Amino acid sequence: SLDKAFAALEQQARADAAAIKGDEDVEAYRLQWLGRKQGRLNDVSSRWLKAAPAEAKKSLGQRFNALKTTVEQLLEQAAGSGPSDAALAAEAIDITLPGTRRLLGAEHPITRTMNEIVSVFAALGYSVGVGPEVETDFYNFESMNFPPGHPARDTQDTLVIANQDRRPLRDRLLLRTHTSPVQMRTMEKQPPPVRIVIPGKVHRNDAQDATHSPIFHQVEGLCVDTNITFSDLKGTLDHAMKALFGSSVKTRFFPSFFPFTEPSADVQISCIFCGGKGCRKCKQSGWIELLGCGMVDPAVFAFAAEKQPAYDPKKISGFAFGMGVERIAMMKYGISEIGSLFAGDMRFLNQFA
């Protein structure tokens, strides 16, 4: 009957091994037969062998070892045979299919242009500043020498935050119309000397057309130190324009007006499309107007001196400038519609990847 019992066990072990299909079955078989705690062979050794009378132990042990060897061989064969054909077919990969293309991001042309402008000034020792896009009337206008009710405010059609009529005018919030308020925020925090460029987004209630957008970007610049002159302003901007557009570009300065600079100037560069000969892009003039600038108005220093007395116009002077990023990006990359910079159309943006 011992023979029968072992024969039955072996038969069962062979049948189970024959039913093995994949790796999971192999592991289940190993646990079922050879597992240290619940395995059937452990059951045999711990219950039968222990309980057997001393004279039967030897032959019982031999049979047990034979059965164990058989099970181990069956397991080895099953594991070595690998996954079944069906399992392989289910996992088959057609390596002739095209792969899934992963889209790579690219720097947006506005960001790229802004970074380029900033790095030209960084190379001159300027640091980078930022300020809030939702700004107070004080920083956007009053401290930049646009007094309440002053007509110069109308040149920057302002989008204001609603329901603030009960606040004092200087505290009312608006979407900044230029990056110039960050001039004041910088000076309030830091005594002279200051050399800073301020890239950022600005908003104006302008109708959209091919060259205007109610949201656009500027890079502001501010330089304050002892003995800063208009020549420093001219030399700095002439260098910057050559660095941005090529060393053969020329600059010229025209009288202009901004409340926060005196004197003020508009800067033109020789047309980068025709080299100054005259073409459609420059309306045959050979020149393109690109930015505003001027010497910091003493009235602006007076506002800064309320927090930082070192901004004393008798002791220091400075210049400031501001340029539109979209306009420069459009010129550099030959973009004719400002709207394509904001549409998020991948066919447009991929050209900059």
Q: Is 320 an interacting residue with respect to ligand PHE (CB under 6 A)? A: yes
What is the Cα–Cα distance from 339 to 269, expressed in whole angstroms? Answer: 24
Q: Which of 181, 200, 294, 318 binds ligand PHE (CB under 6 A)?
A: 294
Answer yes or no: is 289 a known binding residue: no
Residues 11 to 70: which contact ligand PHE by CB under 6 A?
none
Residue 292 binds ligand PHE, judged by CB under 6 A: yes
According to CB under 6 A, which residues from 159 to 188 bind ligand PHE? 178, 180
Minimum distance of ligand PHE from residue 341's CB (angstroms): 18
270's enclosing H/E stretch is strand 261-270
Query: 3-state class of 52 per DSSP?
Result: coil
Task: Decide whether 192 or 318 has the Cβ nearer to ligand PHE.
Answer: 318
Q: What letter does residue 38 receive in the DSSP assignment?
A: T
C-alpha 259: how far from its chain's center?
Answer: 36
29 vs 311, beta carbon nearer ligand PHE: 311
> Is the dihedral angle over the CA atoms 169, 136, 110, 284 positive or is it negative?
positive
- Asked if 57 and 51 touch (Cβ cutoff 8 Å), the reply is no
**Token output for 123:** 């190379």
Nearest distance from residue 169's CB to ligand PHE, in Å?
20
Number of H helices, E strands in the chain: 13, 9
Using CB under 6 A as the binding rule, whether residue 331 contacts ligand PHE is answered as no
The single residue among 293, 316, 328, 338 that binds ligand PHE, judged by CB under 6 A, is 293
Using CB under 6 A as the binding rule, whether residue 78 contacts ligand PHE is answered as no
- CA dist., res. 203 & res. 95, Å (int): 52
Site for ligand PHE contains 322 (CB under 6 A): yes
Binding region for ligand PHE (CB under 6 A) out of 105-113, 166-174, 189-197, 288-296: 288-296
Site for ligand PHE contains 316 (CB under 6 A):
no
Q: Choose, by CB under 6 A, the member of 213, 261, 268, 270 that binds ligand PHE.
A: 261
Residue 152 Rama label (left phi>0; alpha psi -120 to 50; beta): alpha
Q: Which two tokens stand for residue 334?
A: 């030959």
Q: Give the interface with ligand PHE as residue ranges (CB under 6 A).
A: 178, 180, 220, 258, 261, 292-294, 320-322
